[in-house]
């Protein structure tokens, strides 16, 4: 009997969790979530000789014409 109650609680919790995630997927309009490319901002990238990730980020910004 105790196992049956635990199973029922697990199923109900799973259904509620999946429903919550499914609903959150549709709350935000996809167009609102995208960045607005018309409002360009100045980006300052500090490069260090010990790290290469900043150079990759700089190339990404240049490729996307964001810099």
Find the helix or strand (DSSP H, E) in which 25 lies. Answer: helix 2-27
Higher pLDDT, 30 or 46: 46
The reply to whether 12 and 28 lie within a common domain is yes
Number of independent structural domains in the chain: 2
Burial letters for 30-49: b for 16+ Cβ neighbours within 10 Å, e otherwise? eeeeeeeeeeeeeeeeeeee
Note the pLDDT tens digit of each residue in 39-60. Answer: 667 778 887 778 778 878 888 8
pLDDT in the model for residue 36: 61
- Answer yes or no: are the C-beta atoms of 58 and 65 closer than 8 Å: no
Band (35; pLDDT cuts 50, 70, 90): low
Same structural domain for residues 44 and 67?
yes
DSSP 8-state class, residue 65: T
Cα separation, 49 vs 61, in Å, equals: 19
Residues 20, 30, single domain; the answer is yes
Q: Give the range of the structural domain holding residue 10, as residue numbers without chain letter.
A: 1-34
* pLDDT, mean of residues 11-17: 96
pLDDT band at residue 14 using 50, 70 and 90 as cut-offs = very high
DSSP class of residue 39? S
């Amino acid at each position: 009997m105790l196992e049956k109650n635990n199973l029922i609680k697990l199923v109900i919790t799973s259904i509620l969790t999946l429903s919550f995630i499914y609903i959150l997927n549709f709350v935000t309009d996809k167009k609102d979530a995208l960045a607005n490319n018309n409002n360009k901002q100045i980006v300052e990238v500090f490069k260090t000789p010990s790290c290469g990730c900043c150079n990759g980020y700089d190339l990404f910004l240049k490729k996307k014409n964001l810099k």
